[in-house]
Chains A and B, each alone.
Chain A
């Protein structure tokens, strides 16, 4: 039987174009990826068709399924000054280091008294505090104790001041957005909306997911 010559070596393939393409795509996805900001609670937002992109320069109020309120304002400078104002008002001392650390943080849902411990804590400590917290205190009976009220007030005040002092940045006016869970009781959201009305905030956004197919009936 004649021997069939089997080529020993596997055919060499020029992989250069493939590598080029692969790295091009990797670079593209890396650059377009935006870091998901770590949030203290997961919130499953409702979906809607009428939607615009979430505006830049926002003050975000998150309400989770239990009705706890979390607060976030994007601009680090504004965050810091807002905290200084809050510290004065609620007589809590913050060190310089804590103020700097706070300005780079994200959403939080603890009272001003608990904030120093929250800022100093590491990720796992914060997780424990996030799970145990009752959210930013809202006192419907005594307005002067409602911390949410002053967070909203100071956030707006300082954001306005910041954009007035830095006209070169051409910042859009501060938008206020509510991000709440599908299952949150509307009652709780109404507390926040009441606060908006009191502070004469009549325009705001509700954060939703874009609905996939607008022609089909929603499946819940």
Chain B
């Protein structure tokens, strides 16, 4: 199969034209596609990404329009409340994802979120220069209208759930948050 086939001399007796010997390339093609398949399959499909985190240098200062989200053992139940904690208070319950937590966070951060969408659109349409856009963005990210969200975690919360909450905060353009351990009183309420 893999031999080099010379042209038979009978055909060329009259006109001995020099022709390149024909090479059977099937094995080479086999090998090439084998390697190709291997590299395509081993190519890293999901490239690793990273979220940037920034912690406030000092402990989170409670703010008037603050909001607390508590993540416990059950990933389907996320508790939250506004303002300050009072023992025995009623905690709102929501679910993770688009219709639950994201909606809650989006409502809380509506002004900033909508303004950000407006300037994003203006920037895409070319109505805003890059410097003006960046300036407005940084103004928005330090806006007073943005609630300070304290993400509290219970002892048995998994890392994945916390990252989900951080992800929702990023989606709703909220950059003011802190991670804090849930207090015993709060733990008692989410049991």
Contact = CB atoms under 8 A, between A and B. Distances in A.
A48 B99 CA distance: 17
Contact of B49 (A183, A187, A209): A209
Given A182-B159, A182-B160, A51 B28 contact: no
Contacts, number: 148
B145 interface: no
Interface of A: 12, 15-16, 18-19, 22-23, 25-26, 29-30, 32-34, 36, 45-46, 48-55, 63, 177, 180-187, 189-190, 193, 196-197, 200, 202-210, 214, 217-218, 220
B32 A203 contact: no
B33 interface: yes
Contact size class for B? 35 or more
Contacts of A200: 57
A29 B32 CA distance: 12
Contacts of B22: 12
Interface stretch (B36-44, B80-88, B120-128): B36-44
Interface of B: 22, 25-26, 28-29, 32-33, 35-36, 39-40, 42-44, 46-57, 71, 75, 96-99, 153, 155-164, 166-167, 170-171, 179, 181
Q: Main secondary structure on chain B at its contact with chain A?
A: mixed
Contact of A46 (B26, B32, B42, B159): B159
B179 A193 contact: yes
Contacts of A206: 50-51, 53, 163, 166
Nearest to B41: A29
B97 A36 contact: no
27 contacts: A12-B22, A19-B32, A22-B32, A26-B35, A26-B39, A30-B39, A33-B42, A33-B44, A34-B44, A48-B51, A51-B51, A52-B49, A52-B50, A183-B160, A187-B156, A189-B159, A189-B162, A190-B179, A202-B55, A202-B57, A203-B54, A205-B51, A206-B53, A208-B49, A210-B47, A210-B49, A214-B171
Contacts of B163: 46, 48, 182, 206, 208
A32 B43 CA distance: 8
